[in-house]
Homo-oligomer: A and B are copies of this chain.
Amino acid sequence: MKQDKLDKSRGKSFVSAQQVAERAGVSRSAVSRTFTDGASVAPATRKRVLQAAEELGYTVNHLARGLIREKSNIVSLVVADINTPYQAKMTEALTRRLQAANKVAMIINSSGESTDVEMALRQTLHYRADATIVLSGQPKASLIETCLNNGQHVILINRDDPVPGPVSVIVTNRAAARQAFDMLERAGCRKLAVIASTVGSASLAAREKAFVAAAQSANIDVSVSRLGPTAYASGAEAARQVLSGADRPDGVFCVTDLLACGFLDAARNEFGIKIPDELCVVGFDDIEQAGWSSYELTTFRQPIEQIAEHVVDLIDHHTPVDAIQDPIRFQAEPVWRKSVRPR
């Protein structure tokens, strides 16, 4: 008996409620009740159980608990480029708030191939996640439906696909892009360029199109460059192409801050262009680097904390919806720094 307990405590294996019950001299149920919120258990019993648990190093097995409660408290985050400043920030906010709501984040790295997103969603199902938050990739509608059918909550962030079922949370891309045009137009820019990317999501495409539309309806010349992923190097490459031509643009809208940083660096260091005197640049996202003194980039801030808060709320209250939902929109606010001439 005693021997058995000793073995267990050293035995490199998890302690069960049964063992705690034996040590405390109560039933399994008493132990269970001690660890479930709102269960009634006498203070004395509770105390004895708690002590036994402490001594044995007992921890409730959430795998088993999730099995019977049909609620795992796991939320999966499907994300591709966690190492990208924007995604990293979003991931940080989401995991922090999820944790505060007594949930835990399982992160699914869907980098690269198209099959990966599929695998990712599969994992989500394997572990019976209560919800899936998609930050990257374009999951097939059929897979989303599977998640939904299994009672999972599916939340799409900044991928405004016209898929019915999941809840979409997006930022006011079009309005912000129009505002970006206004900024540049008022700064006196008369020849514009927008730097987008080849792997653009719906959000990025929306920014690009809205900007172009605004420029065209104001009869101002615009060109569009897409040459590479949404990364620093692509922005620099775009600058090389766009700025080496005869008539350079005097105003540029980069669909992403990362692109803008690359563009700015190439423009200044390779072409010796003065920002914002000769060229104005507007970015999007307000990543940390946008505020660094080498960039001082005028951009649009995504309200990441608000988005994260809202998403976690959504999951917590779990309003199951059958109908097609309108996406929830958050305002992207302009952040004035020094890459655009004032007024």
The residues of A with any CB-CB pair to B shorter than 8 Å are 9-10, 12-15, 57, 59-64, 66-67, 70, 72, 74, 81-85, 88-89, 91-92, 95-96, 99, 104-109, 111, 119, 122-123, 125-128, 146, 148-151, 232, 236, 261-262, 265-266, 268-270, 288-289, 292-295, 320
**B106 with A292: CB separation less than 8 A:** no
Closest approach, in angstroms, between the C-beta of A102 and any C-beta of chain B?
Answer: 10
Instruction: Give A258's nearest chain B residue, CB to CB.
Output: B288
Which chain B positions have C-beta within 8 A of A119?
Answer: 99
Which chain B positions have C-beta within 8 A of A128?
Answer: 14, 61-63
Closest approach, in angstroms, between the C-beta of A199 and any C-beta of chain B?
Answer: 17
Q: Which of A104, A105, A126, A265 has the most CB of B within 10 A?
A: A104
Beyond A126-B61, A265-B292, whether A95 also contacts B82 by CB under 8 A is yes
Which chain B positions have C-beta within 8 A of A126?
Answer: 59-62
Can you give 29 A-B contacts (C-beta < 8 A)? A9-B149, A12-B150, A13-B151, A14-B125, A57-B146, A57-B150, A61-B126, A63-B127, A64-B67, A74-B106, A82-B82, A82-B95, A83-B85, A83-B91, A85-B85, A91-B107, A95-B107, A95-B108, A96-B109, A99-B119, A99-B123, A105-B107, A106-B107, A107-B107, A265-B294, A269-B293, A269-B294, A270-B293, A294-B295
Task: Work out how many copies of this chain go into the complex.
Answer: 2
Closest approach, in angstroms, between the C-beta of A37 and any C-beta of chain B?
Answer: 14
Instruction: Give A98's nearest chain B residue, CB to CB.
Output: B109
Task: Report how far A95 CA is from B105 CA in the complex, Å.
Answer: 13
State which of B59, B109, B261 has its C-beta within 8 Å of the C-beta of A125. B59
Which chain B positions have C-beta within 8 A of A104?
Answer: 106, 108, 123, 127
Task: Report how far A270 CA is from B288 CA in the complex, Å.
Answer: 19
**B57 with A149: CB separation less than 8 A:** yes
Beyond A61-B128, A85-B83, A292-B265, whether A12 also contacts B320 by CB under 8 A is yes
Q: Which of A108, A268, A293 has the most CB of B within 10 A?
A: A293
Instruction: Give A270's nearest chain B residue, CB to CB.
Output: B293
State which of B61, B62, B293 has its C-beta within 8 Å of the C-beta of A265. B293
**A83 with B72: CB separation less than 8 A:** no
Closest approach, in angstroms, between the C-beta of A48 and any C-beta of chain B?
Answer: 21
Q: List 7 other contacts, CB 8 Å, given A88-B88, A232-B288.
A: A14-B151, A63-B127, A83-B91, A83-B92, A105-B106, A106-B106, A236-B293
Which chain B positions have C-beta within 8 A of A64?
Answer: 63, 67
Which chain B positions have C-beta within 8 A of A109?
Answer: 92, 95-96, 99, 105
Which chain B positions have C-beta within 8 A of A99?
Answer: 108-109, 119, 123
Instruction: Give A60's nearest chain B residue, CB to CB.
Output: B126
Q: Which of A57, A61, A126, A127 has the most CB of B within 10 A?
A: A127
Instruction: Give A110's nearest chain B residue, CB to CB.
Output: B99
Beyond A57-B149, A111-B92, A149-B57, whether A70 also contacts B13 by CB under 8 A is yes
Which chain B positions have C-beta within 8 A of A269?
Answer: 293-294
Task: Report how far A292 CA is from B150 CA in the complex, Å.
Answer: 46
State which of B13, B63, B236, B270 has its C-beta within 8 Å of the C-beta of A72. B63
